[in-house]
Structure 1
């Protein structure tokens, strides 16, 4: 069965964007972009909310047509266009670029999607991830910690009363100071 992987960049203090929705503090260089492309190209689909999808759809469909975007940026444009996308939105009625609109996060429907053949599913966006987490649907967390403190903004993880035990599955440090942390759900909770 395919896994759902919450795939996100955050600051050291746990934010995914500043209060004004700025993400220019992300340290994405060619080395990191190549690594992200490699991981995402192996996925079977992207799961996003409407806001994330609309931001992606503003840039990626034609990004590789601009010579200034050569290299990993152009490579990701092809990955993004070709990848099946599932956009969770109660207001969006249709979307282009190989996209299926889904109106609600329903556990049985997500499990049916996981049961389909293909690569794992990359989940993006804190709000959508919170909905998936509330239904216990996230299998792994791939967190890219950027070497910056932004002080306040949108947290990667919303407050919750649920504790989820995780097991470290791998790490990688990049030359620009970004650290990849990969966690999977623990089979059994550690003794407390």
Structure 2
């Protein structure tokens, strides 16, 4: 059975803001490796449209290997986009979800293959509420943004996690790898 992994960058004060963090070469390499070792990436509309930034770099590389390798990895991984407003997607490796998120994830988990990535704050919240995430990989950057989109916005239940490992980058960010505890009881706060 495939695992569903929530992978995301956030600031020290808990906000998801790609403009506030420094995705240096080592971090790009980590996410390139994660994409290359995964079977599919799930996106919400906003994050999907942000990721489209990488499409032109496949045909027009920057010359910076960490960025170009990431562009190639994000281009190749199959993507499923959950959106109420998009009518189509034209990225060759992407498709719009044709069922609700719970049905799509259940079907994906039962298929053979590599892990499933959840890469959007909104999807991570929804999947957390549905108790479907098997592992969280949260890259905490040493930046206090002060405001923005909180990662766990609208979570109204206590969810207990267990740290299974961490990865520290020389530039300061730390990826914390968590699994929901086996005895987790989601209780309303």
Q: Which residue of 1 aligns with 2:83?
A: 89
The alignment of Structure 1 onto Structure 2 pairs a total of residues equal to: 184
Q: Which residue of 1 aligns with 2:74?
A: 80
Out of 55, 58, 63, the position equivalent to 1:61 is 55
1:185 aligns with 2:180: yes
Q: Which residue of 2 aligns with 1:174?
A: 169
- Structure 2 segments unaligned to the other structure (5+ residues): none
Q: Secondary structure at the match of 2:158?
A: coil
Contact 1:105–1:132 (Cα < 8 Å) also in 2: no
Deviation at 1:86, TM superposition (A): 0.4
Which segment drifts farther, 8-17 or 128-137?
128-137
Q: Which residue of 1 aligns with 2:139?
A: 144
Q: Which residue of 2 aligns with 1:101?
A: 96
1:69-111 deviations in Å (ceiling 9; x for gaps)? 4201111111111111000012222212211201553423321
Deviation at 1:173, TM superposition (A): 0.8
Runs of 4+ in 1 over 4 A off after TM superposition: none
- Structure 1 segments unaligned to the other structure (5+ residues): 18-22
Q: State the superposition RMSD in angstroms.
A: 1.7
